[in-house]
């Protein structure tokens, strides 16, 4: 029988959106078996959540420390844990499990504060276990094809990058309704961290630009705004960015853009051509080459580089997207942990601790810049 990794989960209980997403993603390619969890911060709710999803109650734990201790003692204990809690509860559980040499798959961003990020990086470096982040959009086949095209020089010397992530779900003060758990913690600096929209969706945008181009953001000049009265964190941002190799760019980030659902777009411009991609139609990208007609890249097209489309699960023309992006991260992580022959290539693709630290620097540099009249702020100074 095919070897499956024994998976646990911290967070993701009743009322939590992202926990179900992670559990579905882990099942899609049948490489994990969900066997243990601490599904809530309260023992009673954790137990009720375990009952609801059919988890063995003897392996439903009242807190993550007990879970890490008990599971590390078992011969059939978990090998991997998913951490799907609000941001302020990423670092402490991750450290606990990494210290037991249990692999960690953590929701992004890596932590809520820079101090936690540096502390977690020390443990990642000393642990025998792997640490992965679920920047799920980097799992999309067309995004990986775009990365390969850039790496192979199809666009020539890069000049400009542009990213936009527009949502409208926080256009009113949803956090005060008492019915929107996501809004409550994502707008709370004690749980979310120093930034609101920039940390939540700006982090995805920045990661995608770095992932596709292979470049790093070096400095930002940011204007963060809180438009909804009484909200504690930013809900809109305009950010100029300076990338490595003298590439320039800008980001437009908003969660109060009325009528927008999940409008994430990126464009990469070079001397020879450009690439354009939109998340709401993620199976297609447009390749523009100077002097030639535009080409459409699809999951069923002929422009295919090795590994870009290696894990397409359904026929072309049948949409793949959000869940499959998460599933790709889980699938690649499993292949690494099971020491498959493609392990080294996958290690180059998957977001890890270094990725997480870079994005944390971007988030905090953006906040600092905005507080200082949008002055240019070096990420290495964070």
Separation CA 321–CA 324 (nearest Å): 5
With tokens 């003298």, the residue in question is 246
Separation CA 24–CA 313 (nearest Å): 14
Separation CA 88–CA 314 (nearest Å): 37
Task: Please state the φ and ψ torsions of residue 192, each to the nearest 5 degrees.
Answer: -90, -35
Tell me, which fold does domain 140-311+352-371 have in CATH? Dihydrodipicolinate Reductase; domain 2 (3.30.360)
Separation CA 360–CA 216 (nearest Å): 13
Looking at the chain, the whole-number percentage of residues with pLDDT higher than 70 is: 97
* pLDDT tens by residue, 194-251: 999 999 999 999 999 999 999 999 999 999 999 999 999 999 999 999 999 999 999 9
Residue 300 has pLDDT above 90, yes or no: no
Residue 306 has pLDDT above 80, yes or no: no
The CATH 3.30.360.10 portion of the chain extends over 140-311+352-371
* pLDDT tens by residue, 333-375: 999 999 999 999 999 999 999 999 999 999 999 999 999 999 9
Tokens of 247: 């590439």
pLDDT confidence tier of residue 301, bands split at 50, 70 and 90: low
> CB under 8 Å to 246, separation ≥6 — which residues?
none
Where do the H-state alpha helices sit in the chain?
Answer: 17-28, 43-53, 64-73, 91-98, 114-126, 141-151, 181-186, 189-192, 197, 203-213, 322-337, 343-349, 353-371
Query: Is 5-133 CATH 1.20.120.790?
Result: no
The CATH 3.40.50.720 portion of the chain extends over 5-133
**Is there a contact between 264 and 278 (Cβ–Cβ < 8 Å)?**
yes
Residue 308 has pLDDT above 70, yes or no: no
Q: Within its chain, how far is the Cα of 196 from the centroid?
A: 15
Pairing of β 32-38 and β 80-83: unpaired
**Is there a contact between 37 and 60 (Cβ–Cβ < 8 Å)?**
yes
Q: Which DSSP category does 263 fall into?
A: E
Residue 240: enclosing H or E segment and its boundaries? strand 236-243
């Amino acid at each position: 029988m095919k070897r499956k990794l024994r998976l646990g989960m911290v967070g993701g209980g009743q009322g939590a959106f992202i926990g179900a997403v992670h559990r579905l993603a882990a099942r899609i390619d049948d490489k994990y078996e969900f066997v243990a969890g601490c599904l809530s911060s309260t023992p009673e709710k954790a137990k009720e959540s375990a009952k609801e999803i059919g988890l063995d109650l003897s392996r439903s734990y009242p807190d993550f420390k007990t879970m890490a201790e008990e599971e590390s003692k078992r011969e059939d204990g978990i090998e991997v844990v998913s951490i799907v809690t609000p941001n302020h509860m990423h670092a402490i559980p991750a450290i606990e499990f990494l210290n037991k040499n249990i692999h960690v798959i953590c929701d992004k961003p890596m932590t809520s504060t820079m101090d936690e990020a540096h502390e977690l990086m020390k443990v990642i470096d000393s642990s025998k276990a792997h640490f992965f982040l679920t920047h799920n959009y980097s799992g999309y086949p067309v995004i990986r094809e775009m990365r390969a095209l850039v790496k192979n020089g199809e666009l020539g010397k890069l000049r400009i990058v542009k990213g936009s992530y527009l949502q409208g779900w926080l256009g009113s003060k949803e956090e005060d309704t008492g019915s929107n758990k996501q809004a409550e913690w994502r707008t709370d600096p004690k749980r979310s961290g120093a930034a609101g929209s920039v940390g939540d969706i700006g982090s995805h945008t920045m990661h995608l630009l770095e992932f596709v181009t292979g470049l790093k953001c070096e400095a930002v000049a940011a204007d963060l705004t809180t438009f909804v009265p009484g909200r504690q964190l930013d809900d809109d941002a305009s950010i100029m960015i300076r990338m490595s190799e003298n590439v320039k760019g800008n980001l437009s980030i908003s969660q109060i853009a009325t009528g927008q659902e999940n409008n994430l777009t990126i464009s990469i411009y070079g001397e020879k051509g450009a690439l354009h991609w939109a998340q709401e139609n993620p199976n297609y990208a447009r390749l523009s080459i100077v002097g030639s007609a535009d080409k459409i890249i699809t999951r069923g097209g002929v422009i295919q580089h090795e590994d870009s489309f290696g894990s397409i699960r359904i026929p072309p023309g049948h949409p793949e997207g959000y869940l499959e992006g998460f599933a790709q991260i889980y699938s690649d992580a499993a292949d690494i942990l099971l020491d498959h022959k493609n392990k080294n290539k996958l290690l180059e693709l998957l977001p890890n601790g270094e990725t997480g630290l870079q994005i944390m620097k971007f988030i905090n540099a953006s906040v600092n810049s905005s507080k200082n009249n949008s002055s240019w702020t070096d990420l290495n100074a964070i």
